[in-house]
Amino acid sequence: MKVIALTCPQCGGSQDVSDNQHLLECRYCRTILRVERSANGELERLLIEARLENAELTVENRRLKITNAIHRLDAAWAAHRPELLVPGKKGPREPSNVLAFGAMLVGLATAAIGVNFLLTLGPDGFVGIAFIGMGVIIAGFGLGERGAANRYKDSKIKYDRRRRELSDELANVEAVFGERSGYEDTTMRKKRLDNVAYPAADA
């Protein structure tokens, strides 16, 4: 039996769906979901079959949706971040703008020393060419480091901004929750629903 992970369209939670399932209840938000198949029978996606029109659930679904979005965002950043690192002495490290500007300064100064050799020593100043070459390499490293540092910073700012937006949204929803009297959190409600004694069929 094949099992694949599909996303609940209501709350964004991941569901393990086996290929013999047609309807299921989202394990997070309890929305009833229908499994849509492609022409060749492959499981494609989940559609909402029935929604519990309950205000409390709606608010909680929003909370779940945001929580799941935060988890997805964190996972995406954790996966993307290593691509933005640069090789360092003790393994990959964050690129540094301070190091970049330092290298550019040292590179320029080294090249300037080389130019000075050429100008003051005349024919004996050929050693200046080595200095200029070294200066260009060091400054080039600095430029590369600067580019990497800017790419890292841009991505980090985007991630931080989106994370803050989602956190604010979550705080907002939780504030709404807090005002609701008799609110049960997910674990509490699940416990209660799990313990509901349904009447026997012949009762």
List residues binding Zn ion (CB under 5 A): 8, 10-11, 13, 26, 28-29
**Sheet of strand 23-25, all strands in order from the earlier edge strand to the far edge:** 23-25, 32-37, 43-50
Closest approach of Zn ion to the CB of residue 190, in Å: 13
Longest dimension (CA), the chain: 110
Closest approach of Zn ion to the CB of residue 10, in Å: 4
Tell me whether residue 11 or residue 43 sits nearer to Zn ion (CB atom).
11
Closest approach of Zn ion to the CB of residue 78, in Å: 23
Placement of tokens 């430029």 in the chain: 143
Tell me whether residue 137 or residue 170 sits nearer to Zn ion (CB atom).
170
Placement of tokens 């100008």 in the chain: 119
Report residue 16: phi and psi, to 5°: -85, 115
Identity of residue 11: C
Report residue 33: phi and psi, to 5°: -120, 145
Closest approach of Zn ion to the CB of residue 24, in Å: 10
What is the rounded CA–CA span in Å between residue 120 and residue 99?
31
What is the rounded CA–CA span in Å between residue 101 and residue 181?
58
Tell me whether residue 28 or residue 117 sits nearer to Zn ion (CB atom).
28
Closest approach of Zn ion to the CB of residue 194, in Å: 17
Which own/partner contact pairs does 33-37 have at CB distance under 8 Å and 24+ positions apart?
A: 33/8, 33/9, 35/6
Tell me whether residue 60 or residue 145 sits nearer to Zn ion (CB atom).
60
- The pair of structure tokens assigned to 107 is 């590179």
Tell me whether residue 10 or residue 110 sits nearer to Zn ion (CB atom).
10
Tell me whether residue 28 or residue 152 sits nearer to Zn ion (CB atom).
28
Closest approach of Zn ion to the CB of residue 8, in Å: 3
